[in-house]
Homo-oligomer: A and B are copies of this chain.
Amino acid sequence: MIDIQISDKPLDISSCIDWVMSPDCGGIDVFIGTVRNATKGKEVTRLEFEAYRQMALNEMQKIAEQALEKWPVQKLLIHHRTGVLQVGEVPVIIAVAAAHRAAAFDACRYTIDTLKETVPIWKREVFEDGEVWVAAHP
């Protein structure tokens, strides 16, 4: 089972974990991205996330389906936040439940690694003295 969401409201970690928990699973791996207070030593004021919404949902669905093909995983959830986030807030939650932990770890890590490469979502870091679209320039 797969649950993919993009939301401009705060993500709810507990309800994500509740969704993946099931009596035939023994291991759950959860990745939670959080907004750091600094990048390369420079203080971050806030982050802004923009998504190409329908394509981003499609690409996340593809990643989830690939993960379910590659590993024996029962449930995989991806929730991504958009809009303005303050330091400490959560842009992304990935939760994976499997009968055995190795599959949960592998699938969770694959999902976040691939999401960061292919899903059309963009992050702008805002500093005291300016802002930058992350990864835009070489």
Contact = CB atoms under 8 A, between A and B. Distances in A.
Given A105-B105, A109-B105, A112-B101, A34 B25 contact: yes
A30 interface: yes
Do most interface residues of chain A lie in helix, strand or loop, or is the interface mixed? mixed
Given A13-B14, A17-B13, A101 B24 contact: no
Interface residues of A, number: 31
A10 interface: no
Closest 5 CB pairs of A and B: A23-B37, A28-B32, A30-B30, A26-B36, A23-B87
Interface of A: 13-14, 17, 21-38, 87-88, 97, 99, 101, 104-105, 108-109, 112
